[in-house]
Amino acid sequence: MVYDVIVIGSGPAGLAAAIYAQRARLSCMVLEKEYISGGQVVNTYEVDNYPGLPGIGGFELGMKFREHAEKLGAKFTNIEVRHVGLEDEGRIKVAYTDGEEFRARALVLAMGAKYRHLEVPGEKQLTGMGVSYCATCDGAFFKGRTVAVVGGGDVAVEDALFLARGCAKVYLIHRRDELRAAASLQEQLRKCENVEFIWNTEVKEIAGDDHVECLRLREKTGGTERVLDVDGVFIAVGTIPNTEIITKLLHLDPYGYVAAGEDGITEIPGIFAAGDLRTKQLRQIVTAASDGANVITSVQNYLNAL
């Protein structure tokens, strides 16, 4: 069978694309390697910034997206795509898996991105219980409390600025002696009286029983270790787009993201990108869902022109 569109990935972008594809009466297949739909959102304990659903659990929100798509008739196959190719002079897009090949006239890439981790003890166990990778998602839960931000780029400084507005104390921990963030951002942060910089220091452990209680830090030059009491830690050391399956097919920016605008159009006709794996300013649940809607409009325009 040749579908109108295949969607690879079932996070907010992929599921929104499936919903809009069904509403457009396109034959659509969603290919997902995870057993649970929702992408990164399912690992978020509580989502407080999705319009109309404040405080909803991340897992519950992911399930609502999936249920909505299924209610409209979207089809899902739990399988991992190994690579993507073209047939019939590019008119047919093929998703290759270990056991099957799926064909469509259009393809939506919605594999998302993953946060880069520190890979230290306690990080994985306490994710969602004080360990966060998104200040705008989770910062409100730490109002009046003490937190740390780990990183030195624009995102880390922006996170620290955001948190400083509501937290009693914000530590910015960076492994170097100067930040990589834009000078204007640094100037703003240095004006915050409740922000303290910790230079040339790495986090060696995140500790706590059922929530973050402290960080074990080590100074890089002298090796001195100390314990820093915090209620939460926001890790901002970058993201890694899940673009491994299309590295030989599409142009990626220097950071590995698919070069595509809000319409999702890539340099290959009929292949579109949506969500966190594309070049964009803000990576949030709501912007991923928006991408999914936009990209199906582009898919329709492409199919109508064939």
* Residue 48 pLDDT: 74
Same domain for 179 and 108? no
Same domain for 15 and 57? yes
122 assigned to some structural domain: no
| Active site annotation includes 138 | yes
Asked whether the beta carbons of 156 and 180 are under 8 A apart, the reply is no
Same domain for 230 and 244? no
Same domain for 269 and 205? no
Q: How far apart are CA 4 and CA 173, in angstroms?
A: 49
* Residue 305 pLDDT: 94
273 assigned to some structural domain: yes
Same domain for 100 and 136? no
Count of the separate structural domains present in the chain: 2
125 assigned to some structural domain: no
Which domain does 164 fall in, by range? 131-235
The rounded average pLDDT for each run of 10 residues, N- to C-terminus, in the chain (306 residues) is 96 97 97 85 74 87 94 95 94 94 97 92 95 89 97 91 96 95 92 97 96 97 95 93 92 91 96 95 91 98 95
Domain stop point among 235, 255, 286: 235
Burial class (CB in 10 A: 0-12, 13-18, 19+), 46: middle
68 assigned to some structural domain: yes
Say what the pTM is.
0.77
Same domain for 217 and 245? no
Same domain for 243 and 231? no
Domain stop point among 235, 253, 280: 235
**CA 25 centroid distance within chain:** 29
Same domain for 246 and 230? no
185 assigned to some structural domain: yes
121 assigned to some structural domain: no
To the nearest 10 degrees (0 to 180), the angle between helices 183-190 and 154-164 is: 30
220 assigned to some structural domain: yes
276 Cβ neighbours under 8 A, 6+ residues apart: 11, 13, 40, 112, 113, 239, 241, 283, 288
Model pLDDT for residues 175-208, shown as the tens digit of each residue: 999 999 889 989 999 999 999 999 999 999 999 9
**Active-site position among 28, 48, 98, 137:** 137
Structure tokens at 13: 């972008």
Same domain for 32 and 73? yes
The secondary structure of residue 47, as a DSSP letter, is B
**Active-site position among 138, 159, 231, 291:** 138
Same domain for 222 and 169? yes
Same domain for 109 and 6? yes
**Active-site position among 28, 134, 167, 214:** 134
Which CATH number belongs to the domain containing residue 135 in this structure?
3.50.50.60
| Active site annotation includes 28 | no
Asked whether the beta carbons of 133 and 284 are under 8 A apart, the reply is no
Residue 185: CB atoms within 10 A of its CB come to 18
* Residue 42 pLDDT: 76
* Residue 281 pLDDT: 86
Model pLDDT for residues 68-122, shown as the tens digit of each residue: 999 999 999 999 999 999 999 999 999 999 989 999 999 999 999 888 999 999 9
| Active site annotation includes 137 | yes
* Residue 45 pLDDT: 65
Asked whether the beta carbons of 4 and 21 are under 8 A apart, the reply is yes
Domain stop point among 203, 220, 235: 235
Same domain for 269 and 210? no
126 assigned to some structural domain: no
